[in-house]
Structure 1
Amino acid sequence: MKFPENWLRQHVRTDATREELAATLTAIGLEVEEMEVLGDNLDGVIVARIVECAKHPEADKLQVCKVDTGNEVLQIVCGAPNARPGLVAPLATIGTTVGTLTIKAAKLRGVDSNGMLCSAKELALDADASGLLELPDDAPVGTPLADYLGLPDARIELKLTPNRADCFSVRGIAFDVAAACGSDVVPFDATPMPALNDATMDITLNAGADVPRFVGRVIEGIDAHVRTPIWMAERLRRSGIRPISLLVDVTQYVMLEIGQPMHAFDRGLLQGPIGVRRARAGESLKLLDGRDVALDDQFLVVTDNDRAVALGGIMGGADTKVTDNTRNVFLEAAHWVPSAIIGRGRRLGLHTDAGHRFERGVDPELPRQAIEIATRLIVELAGGAPGPVIEAVLPEYLAKPSPVVLRRARLARGLGTTVADNEVERILRALGLDVAAHAEGWSVTPPTRRFDIAIEEDLIEEIARIYGYDNIPATLPGGHTRLVAPTETQVDAATARRHMASRDYLEAVNYAFVDEALLASWHAHEGQVPLANPLSAELGVMRTQLLPGLVAALSRNVARQQHRVRLFEIGKVFHARSMGGDDTAHPKSPLETNRIAAVACGPASLEQWSDRERVVDFHDLKGDLESLAQLSGAKLAFRPSTQPHGHPGRSADVYRVNDDGSGEWPIGWIGQLHPRLAKALDLPVDVVAFELDLTPVLSRNIPRAHALSKFPSVRRDLAFVVPEAVQWTAVKATVEAAAGAFLREVVLFDRYSGAGVESGFKSLAMGLILQDESRTLTDRDVEQVVADVVAALQQQHHAAIRS
Structure 2
Amino acid sequence: MKFSENWLRSHVPTDADRDALAATLTAIGLEVEEVTPLGASLGQVVVARIVEAVRHPEADRLQVCQVDAGGGERLQIVCGAPNARPGLVAPLALVGAQVGEMKIKAAKLRGVESNGMLCSAKELELDSDASGLFELPDDAPVGTPLAEYLGLPDASIEIKLTPNRADCFSVRGIAYDVAAACGSEVVAMDIAAVPAVSSRSVAVELNAGAEAPRFCGRVIEGIDPAARTPVWMAERLRRSGVRPVSLLVDITQYVMLELGQPMHAYDLDMLKGPIAARRSRAGEALKLLDGRDVTLDDSFLVITDADRPVGLAGLMGGFDTRVTDATANVFLEAAHFQPAAIMGRGRKLGLHTDAGHRFERGVDPQLPPQAIELATRLVLELAGGTPGPVTQVDLPQHLPAAARIGLRRARVARVLGLEIVDAEIERILRALGMQVEADAAGWQVTAPTRRFDIAIEEDLIEELARIHGYDRIPTTLPGGASRIAMPSETVLEEVAVRAQLVARDLQETINYAFVEAELLSKWQLRDGLVSLANPLSAELAVMRPALLPGLVAALGRNAARQAGRVRLFEVGKVFAAAAEAGAAPIETQHVAAAVCGDAVALQWGEPARKVDFHDLKGDLASLAAASGAVLEYRPSTRPYGHPGRSADVWRDGQCIGWIGQLHPALAKALEIDVDVVVFELALAPLAARALPRAGELSRFPSVRRDLAFLVPEQVAWTDLAATVRASIGPLLRDVLLFDRYVGPGVEAGFKSLAMGLILQDNSRTLTDRDVDAVVADVVAAVEREHRARIRS
Other-structure match for 1:154: 155
Separation in structure 1 between the aligned mates of residue 392 and residue 251 of structure 2, nearest angstrom = 20
Q: Deviations over 1:196-254 (max 9, x none)?
A: 11222222222111111122222222223322111112222211122211111111111
Other-structure match for 1:583: none
User: Which structure 1 segments of 5+ residues have no match?
Assistant: 581-586, 659-663
Other-structure match for 1:653: 648
CA contact under 8 A between 1:200 and 1:390: conserved in structure 2?
A: yes
Q: Deviations over 1:558-617 (max 9, x none)?
A: 33332222222222233343326xxxxxx4644332222222222111111222221222
Other-structure match for 2:241: 240
**What one-letter code is carried by the residue in structure 2 that aligns with 1:645?**
Y
| Aligned partner of 1:777 among 751, 766, 776 | 766
Aligned counterparts, 1:352-371, within 5 A? 352-371=353-372
Find the residue that maps to 2:200 and give its secondary structure: coil
Q: Deviations over 1:13-55 (max 9, x none)?
A: 1111111111111111111122222222222222222222222
Q: Deviations over 1:325-360 (max 9, x none)?
A: 222222222211111211111111111111111111
CA contact under 8 A between 1:571 and 1:595: conserved in structure 2?
A: yes
CA contact under 8 A between 1:279 and 1:300: conserved in structure 2?
A: yes
Other-structure match for 2:61: 61
Of 416-425 and 389-398, more deviation after overlay is shown by 389-398
**Cα–Cα, structure 1 residues 428 and 716, in superposed 2: closer, same or farther, change >3 Å?**
same
**Cα–Cα, structure 1 residues 405 and 467, in superposed 2: closer, same or farther, change >3 Å?**
same
Aligned counterparts, 1:339-418, within 5 A? 339-418=340-419
Q: Deviations over 1:462-488 (max 9, x none)?
A: 111111112222222212222222221
Aligned counterparts, 1:78-93, within 5 A? 78-93=79-94
Separation in structure 1 between the aligned mates of residue 81 and residue 521 of structure 2, nearest angstrom = 59
**2:683 matched to 1:694?**
yes
**Cα–Cα, structure 1 residues 448 and 103, in superposed 2: closer, same or farther, change >3 Å?**
same
**2:729 matched to 1:730?**
no
Separation in structure 1 between the aligned mates of residue 114 and residue 532 of structure 2, nearest angstrom = 63
Q: Deviations over 1:281-313 (max 9, x none)?
A: 222222112222221121111111111111122
Find the residue that maps to 1:518 and give its secondary structure: helix
**2:634 matched to 1:639?**
yes
Q: Deviations over 1:179-209 (max 9, x none)?
A: 1111111111221111111222222222111
Separation in structure 2 between the aligned mates of residue 522 and residue 338 of structure 1, nearest angstrom = 37
Q: Deviations over 1:508-531 (max 9, x none)?
A: 223333334334433445444444
Per the normalisation by structure 2, the TM-score is 0.96
Separation in structure 2 between the aligned mates of residue 365 and residue 645 of structure 1, nearest angstrom = 57
**Cα–Cα, structure 1 residues 787 and 418, in superposed 2: closer, same or farther, change >3 Å?**
same
Other-structure match for 1:9: 9
**2:413 matched to 1:424?**
no
Other-structure match for 1:661: none
- How many percent identity over aligned positions? 69
Aligned counterparts, 1:272-351, within 5 A? 272-351=273-352
Other-structure match for 2:692: 703
Other-structure match for 1:612: 607
Separation in structure 1 between the aligned mates of residue 161 and residue 533 of structure 2, nearest angstrom = 20
Of 480-489 and 517-526, more deviation after overlay is shown by 517-526
Other-structure match for 1:228: 229
**Cα–Cα, structure 1 residues 57 and 549, in superposed 2: closer, same or farther, change >3 Å?**
farther
Separation in structure 1 between the aligned mates of residue 718 and residue 338 of structure 2, nearest angstrom = 57
Find the residue that maps to 1:388 and give its secondary structure: coil
Separation in structure 2 between the aligned mates of residue 247 and residue 645 of structure 1, nearest angstrom = 63
Find the residue that maps to 1:554 and give its secondary structure: helix
Aligned counterparts, 1:206-217, within 5 A? 206-217=207-218
**2:31 matched to 1:34?**
no
Find the residue that maps to 1:104 and give its secondary structure: coil
CA contact under 8 A between 1:224 and 1:247: conserved in structure 2?
A: no
**Cα–Cα, structure 1 residues 634 and 223, in superposed 2: closer, same or farther, change >3 Å?**
farther
Separation in structure 2 between the aligned mates of residue 99 and residue 18 of structure 1, nearest angstrom = 21
| Aligned partner of 1:682 among 656, 671, 674 | 671
Other-structure match for 2:48: 48
Aligned counterparts, 1:70-85, within 5 A? 70-71=70-71, 72-85=73-86
Q: Deviations over 1:544-563 (max 9, x none)?
A: 33233323332332333322
Of 195-204 and 7-16, more deviation after overlay is shown by 195-204
Deviation of residue 267 (structure 1)? 1.7
**Cα–Cα, structure 1 residues 588 and 447, in superposed 2: closer, same or farther, change >3 Å?**
farther
Aligned counterparts, 1:584-599, within 5 A? 587=582, 589-599=584-594
**Cα–Cα, structure 1 residues 677 and 266, in superposed 2: closer, same or farther, change >3 Å?**
farther
Of 417-426 and 722-731, more deviation after overlay is shown by 722-731
Separation in structure 2 between the aligned mates of residue 447 and residue 701 of structure 1, nearest angstrom = 56
Q: Deviations over 1:725-779 (max 9, x none)?
A: 3333333333333333322222222222233333343322222222233333344
| Aligned partner of 1:626 among 608, 615, 621 | 621
Other-structure match for 1:261: 262
Other-structure match for 1:164: 165
CA contact under 8 A between 1:342 and 1:532: conserved in structure 2?
A: no
Of 561-570 and 753-762, more deviation after overlay is shown by 753-762
**What one-letter code is carried by the residue in structure 1 that aligns with 2:638?**
Q
Deviation of residue 152 (structure 1)? 1.6
Deviation of residue 439 (structure 1)? 0.9
**2:776 matched to 1:801?**
no
**What one-letter code is carried by the residue in structure 1 that aligns with 2:594?**
V
**Cα–Cα, structure 1 residues 288 and 778, in superposed 2: closer, same or farther, change >3 Å?**
farther
**Cα–Cα, structure 1 residues 757 and 439, in superposed 2: closer, same or farther, change >3 Å?**
same
**What one-letter code is carried by the residue in structure 2 that aligns with 1:716?**
R
Aligned counterparts, 1:568-583, within 5 A? 568-579=569-580
Separation in structure 2 between the aligned mates of residue 183 and residue 332 of structure 1, nearest angstrom = 34
Other-structure match for 2:200: 199
Other-structure match for 2:735: 746
Find the residue that maps to 1:610 and give its secondary structure: coil
Separation in structure 1 between the aligned mates of residue 573 and residue 688 of structure 2, nearest angstrom = 17
**Cα–Cα, structure 1 residues 476 and 689, in superposed 2: closer, same or farther, change >3 Å?**
same
Q: Deviations over 1:250-280 (max 9, x none)?
A: 1111111111111112221121112222111
Other-structure match for 2:25: 25
Q: Deviations over 1:490-515 (max 9, x none)?
A: 22222222222212122222333333
Of 118-127 and 419-428, more deviation after overlay is shown by 118-127
Separation in structure 2 between the aligned mates of residue 590 and residue 111 of structure 1, nearest angstrom = 81
CA contact under 8 A between 1:343 and 1:532: conserved in structure 2?
A: no
**Cα–Cα, structure 1 residues 267 and 802, in superposed 2: closer, same or farther, change >3 Å?**
farther
**Cα–Cα, structure 1 residues 87 and 313, in superposed 2: closer, same or farther, change >3 Å?**
same
Separation in structure 1 between the aligned mates of residue 251 and residue 49 of structure 2, nearest angstrom = 28
Separation in structure 1 between the aligned mates of residue 115 and residue 291 of structure 2, nearest angstrom = 46
**Cα–Cα, structure 1 residues 471 and 745, in superposed 2: closer, same or farther, change >3 Å?**
same
How many pairs are equivalent?
Answer: 791
Separation in structure 1 between the aligned mates of residue 452 and residue 368 of structure 2, nearest angstrom = 17
**Cα–Cα, structure 1 residues 730 and 542, in superposed 2: closer, same or farther, change >3 Å?**
same
Find the residue that maps to 1:478 and give its secondary structure: coil
Find the residue that maps to 1:566 and give its secondary structure: strand
**Cα–Cα, structure 1 residues 306 and 638, in superposed 2: closer, same or farther, change >3 Å?**
farther
Deviation of residue 696 (structure 1)? 2.3
Find the residue that maps to 1:688 and give its secondary structure: strand
Q: Deviations over 1:624-670 (max 9, x none)?
A: 12212222112222233333333333333323x23xxxxx2233332
**2:440 matched to 1:439?**
yes
Other-structure match for 2:564: 563
Find the residue that maps to 1:139 and give its secondary structure: coil
Deviation of residue 537 (structure 1)? 4.3
CA contact under 8 A between 1:671 and 1:689: conserved in structure 2?
A: yes
**What one-letter code is carried by the residue in structure 1 that aligns with 2:617?**
K
**What one-letter code is carried by the residue in structure 1 that aligns with 2:633?**
F
Other-structure match for 1:671: 660
Deviation of residue 536 (structure 1)? 4.0
Deviation of residue 423 (structure 1)? 0.6
**Cα–Cα, structure 1 residues 600 and 65, in superposed 2: closer, same or farther, change >3 Å?**
farther
